[in-house]
Structure 1
Amino acid sequence: MLPDWLPGWCQEHLGAAPAGMLFGLEQISAVFGLRLTSGTRVVVKARGDDGRAVSCVAAQAQLADRGFPCARPLTPVVAVGSLAVHAEEFRPGGDVLHGDTPDVAVRYAEVFAALTAGLAGVTVAPVCPRWRRSTVPRRSW
């Protein structure tokens, strides 16, 4: 079931209202796969706004621009009450690799290496703006 705010948000930020739901997941954040009245399929993500979403979505956009195979953000992060909301491309397919074999470990390492290389030189606001170097407790040994 779609939250009450979502149809109007889609109309305002994507130019079309939801015509159907492809999927919906709710854990730490809420994720809605939608088919819009325009025929476009999108994913809308909503999470508690802890200040990280803007930087994370900016990094995701730069990764997509650099060719990393991730969904390209379609909107900036928008505040909806206490939520940080954005839309991104719908990219069906792909599987989660399960197991602990060396082949699975190598594949995950390859993806992590590509992600790390793709983030090289990416500049975004710090993802934990409430943490400042001066407020981090120091250990004395």
Structure 2
Amino acid sequence: MVAVSMRKDVEAWCLQAFGHGQLTPVLPEAGGQMSDLFRFDSNRGEAVAVKVRPESLERIDRCLQLQAFAADAGFPCARPLTAAHRLRADMVVHAESWRSSGQMYAGSDHDFAARSASLLARLVAILEGEAPTGLGAPPPWISWNPPTGSLWPPNPAIDAMDQNLVPERVNAIARSVSERLTQTTLPLVVGHGDWESQNLRWQGTSPTTVHDWDSLVALPEAAIVGAASGAFTSTTIPTLAPMEASEAFIDRYEEATGRRFTHEEREIAWAASLWPALHNARGESLFKSPPTALSELTNQAPARLRLAGIR
């Protein structure tokens, strides 16, 4: 439920940006949302999406620049309509075109792995010439090297919870994966850091919209692909994709780019494939939620760690 005071602030911002109209909160299809989404229907007949979240103004502005570049290149995404603005001391707001067509795909078959990986390869190619600067630290579910030097990125509310609820094996795997990923000197590129099925929409086999552009990151290409290969099947409840689905995703990404990953890139991809599941398994443990990601992590971690060169 959006606070009344928040809604009033957003309505006032929309009035200034688009004139009079109707603001409607949009309920998320999946849990764990880090932003509030609204639909604003202006009296001029224009529908826009308005997004509010606690974030750096500079980071969101950079994300919007890259999103606009991708939209101009014909990538299936909403087009930003405003720059980022400070709504409150701790909140940033911006607007983009409203796109609601297409359906979320639920499955882990190889055809979907190929479609999803090819779409990611297309985006990375579009953004290839863009400098991987201004994006700051990655979102927590893909942040394995926080600037604080801690294992997990800082989050006061989460950190205040009983950390003993997190199984030691989760922390142990996270330490090993973090160490492997921080050792690499592979160059940074720009890519999407939350490549889950819940953020993609399709019409049949054709992509209609990629959402969540404030999750752009500057990381090694193999790490972006690897994290996506582990998370791409996640819909309303995040999980870890089956091993064979992740392998198909990585293989198809290589085919789409016409370049095979090096041995190191392969290891980095498999290491990164574990991090979103580690983040989600920690959250499940702290909030005492059903162990969806934790169960898959427990089953798959040994094989994925071996492929990552972690013994």
Q: Give the TM-score taking structure 2 as reference length.
A: 0.39
CA spacing shift, 1:10–1:43, aligned 2, 3 Å: same
1:1-141 → structure 2 map (5 Å cutoff): 3-14=7-18, 16-21=19-24, 23-25=26-28, 27-50=33-56, 51-81=58-88, 82-123=90-131, 125-128=133-136
* Partner SS, residue 70 of structure 1: coil
Q: In the aligned structure 1, how far is the partner of 2:132 from the partner of 2:13?
A: 25
Report the alpha carbon displacement of residue 125 of structure 1 after superposing the two structures with TM: 3.8
Q: In the aligned structure 2, how far is the partner of 1:33 from the partner of 1:88?
A: 10
- Indicate the larger mover: 18-27 or 30-39: 18-27
Instruction: Say how many residue pairs are matched.
Output: 133
What amino acid sits opposite 1:6 in the alignment?
V
Report the alpha carbon displacement of residue 93 of structure 1 after superposing the two structures with TM: 0.7
- Indicate the larger mover: 101-110 or 91-100: 91-100
Larger radius of gyration: 2
What amino acid sits opposite 2:49 in the alignment?
V
Q: Is contact 2:71-2:78 (8 Å) kept? A: yes
- Indicate the larger mover: 64-73 or 22-31: 22-31
Q: In the aligned structure 1, how far is the partner of 2:27 from the partner of 2:41?
A: 12
What amino acid sits opposite 1:110 in the alignment?
S
CA spacing shift, 1:86–1:98, aligned 2, 3 Å: same
Q: Higher strand fraction: Structure 1 or Structure 2?
A: 1
Report the alpha carbon displacement of residue 7 of structure 1 after superposing the two structures with TM: 1.6
Q: In the aligned structure 2, how far is the partner of 1:37 from the partner of 1:22?
A: 17
Report the alpha carbon displacement of residue 112 of structure 1 after superposing the two structures with TM: 0.5
CA spacing shift, 1:47–1:136, aligned 2, 3 Å: closer
RMSD across aligned C-alpha pairs, in angstroms? Answer: 2.4
